[in-house]
A and B are shown apart, each in its own frame.
Chain A
Amino acid sequence: AQKITQTQPGMFVQEKEAVTLDCTYDTSDPSYGLFWYKQPSSGEMIFLIYQGSYDQQNATEGRYSLNFQKARKSANLVISASQLGDSAMYFCAMREGQGDYKLSFGAGTTVTVRA
C-alpha cells in the first residue's frame, strides 16, 4: 500500500498568491514524522518543514506552513505569497518511528508560479 499519496501532479499559481499542496499518509505507527522537500529543476532536495505526530501545533517555517489533520491523516503544505523561485517539484515524505529511519516519499507535485 502506498504510504504517502500526493494526488496533484501539477499546479499553477499566480505570483503573490497562496497555494496548498495535498498530502495524505498511511501508517499504523503512533510515532512518525512528516516532511516536505522542494526539488528545483537543478535537482537538489531542499528540506522545507517538519511535523511530528505528537506535535500539538501546526508547523510553520517562514512562508511555509503545514496543515496537519491527524484524524484525516493529511499533512498539506501551504506556501503563502508565492514567488517565481517557488517553481519546483514538492515532495511529501514520512518517517515511521522516532529514530533516524528511512523516508517514504510521495510522487510529488510540480508547482509553476506565473508572473
Chain B
Amino acid sequence: DSGVTQTPKHLITATGQRVTLRCSPRSGDLSVYWYQQSLDQGLQFLIQYYNGEERAKGNILERFSAQQFPDLHSELNLSSLELGDSALYFCASSVRTGSRNEQFFGPGTRLTVL
C-alpha cells in the first residue's frame, strides 16, 4: 500500500458524459501528479499540482481539468468524454525533499467510456 488513495476504482460511463476522479496523497506530500495509461499512448503525464497551485502541464486535453484543494486532495475532471478517453488514470504524490523525490502511485481509476 503506497498510502495514496484513489476513488472510484472503476468507472463506466457513456460518451459525452462528465466524471470526476478523486485522489488523496500520502500524508505530508504536497505534490500531486495525474497520469493516464492507455494501450496506444502508454503512460502519459497530465498535470501536476503543488500545495494547491498548478505546477506543470503535460498532454492534458482542454476537456480535462484538475484542482488541488486546501486539504491537498486532488480531483481530475473529464468532460465530453470520448471512447478514446478510456484508460487507467493514476494519481501519484511526492514530497519535495532531497534529490530522490520518488513518486508513489495510487491504485488507479479504470475509466471505461461506452
**Contact residues in A for B104 (Cβ distance below 8 Å):** 47
Q: A101 contacts which of B35, B42, B56, B90 (Cβ < 8 Å)? A: B56
The verdict on B64 contacting chain A, using a C-beta distance below 8 Å, is: no
Which bracket fits the contact residues of B? 20 to 34
In the complex, what distance in Å separates the CA atom of A31 from the CA atom of B99? 9
In the complex, what distance in Å separates the CA atom of A36 from the CA atom of B99? 16
The verdict on B2 contacting chain A, using a C-beta distance below 8 Å, is: yes
The verdict on A107 contacting chain B, using a C-beta distance below 8 Å, is: yes
The verdict on B67 contacting chain A, using a C-beta distance below 8 Å, is: no
**Contact residues in A for B108 (Cβ distance below 8 Å):** 43-45
Tell me which residues from 4 to 59 in chain A have a Cβ below 8 Å from any Cβ of chain B.
Answer: 31, 33, 35, 37, 43-47, 50, 52, 54
State whether A50 touches B100 (Cβ < 8 A).
yes
Q: Using CB atoms and an 8 Å cutoff, list the residues of chain B in contact with chain A.
A: 2, 31, 33, 35, 42-45, 48, 50, 56, 58, 88, 90, 92, 94-96, 99-108, 110
State whether B58 touches A45 (Cβ < 8 A).
no
Count, chain A residues at interface, CB 8 A: 26
Q: Quick one: given A37-B105, A44-B108, A45-B105, are A102 and B48 in contact (CB under 8 Å)? A: yes
**Contact residues in B for A103 (Cβ distance below 8 Å):** 33, 35, 45, 92, 103
A-B CB proximity, top 8 nearest: A45-B105, A105-B43, A102-B45, A100-B96, A100-B31, A100-B101, A100-B94, A44-B107
Most chain B CB neighbours (cut-off 10 Å) among A35, A37, A44: A44
State whether A45 touches B101 (Cβ < 8 A).
no
**Contact residues in B for A46 (Cβ distance below 8 Å):** 2, 105
